[in-house]
Amino acid sequence: MSLFEFVMQYWPRLLVGTGMTVAQFFLAAILGIVISLAMGLLKLAPSRPMRAFAITYIEIFRGTSLLVQLYWIFFVLPLFGFSIDKFTAGYLAVGMNIGAYGAELVRGGILSVPKGQWEAALAINMTPAQRMRRIILPQALVNMLPPWGNLMIELLKGTALVSLISVADLMFETKQINGSTFLSAQAFGAALIIYYVLARFMVTPFMRWLERYMARKMGRA
């Protein structure tokens, strides 16, 4: 069976799996961005306990395997009374993991803003929150977006692991089809192409558009 014939026969299941992958990606991306911003700011906070909390979070989630984190959230937390359904456990694990990496991008982006911008905001009597929201973060965002594009692609690829806790994403459906047909080349070839299309024609164009938009908004175009 050719790859084209395979896709024509199994496209409904591949489409359902792709939809689940996209849902996991978007939810994990939202969670990851929120965590990145929070932990990046906390790591720069003047309070030592806040910095310690952020550093501990970042080191744990960067220093351990995403797969182990996924298993902990889905299989171990219920032993302590925290039962989480598989769909939620999937995007929680991926989002919390990517948030640890994103926190360092946020911290680096903020520190890359020229010192003169901080001094100018202070000179016009802005509060720390106003300085960060209106002056520092917009400029830091422009610097952060290129590496964030790579991180979003890594996040997309990381969602494939949720199939291991039976979330019916693209990889789960692919393995199910392969298990019943033994058409490994066609099954995993189709999955490879779909992941590439999602990364190349969904994530990458959006991040590049966002980079151009923010650059124009900040007068850097």
Residue 207 pLDDT: 93
* HSE-CB for 100 with a 13 A CA cutoff: 19
Q: Are the beta carbons of 133 and 146 closer than 8 angstroms?
A: no
Ranges under pLDDT 70 in the chain: 219-221
Tokens 């360092």 — which residue? 104
Q: Which of 152, 155, 167 is nearest to 208 (CA)?
A: 152
Residue 221 pLDDT: 57
Dist CA 89 CA 151 (whole Å): 20
Helices 3-43 and 86-111: angle between axes, nearest 10 degrees: 50
**CATH number listed for the domain at residues 3-217:** 1.10.3720.10
Dist CA 110 CA 118 (whole Å): 10
Angle at 207 between CA 205 and CA 208, to 5 degrees: 65
Output the six-digit token pair for 35: 């965590």
Residue 125 pLDDT: 77
Residue 129 pLDDT: 80
Query: Domain extents for the chain?
Result: 3-217
Residue 135 pLDDT: 83
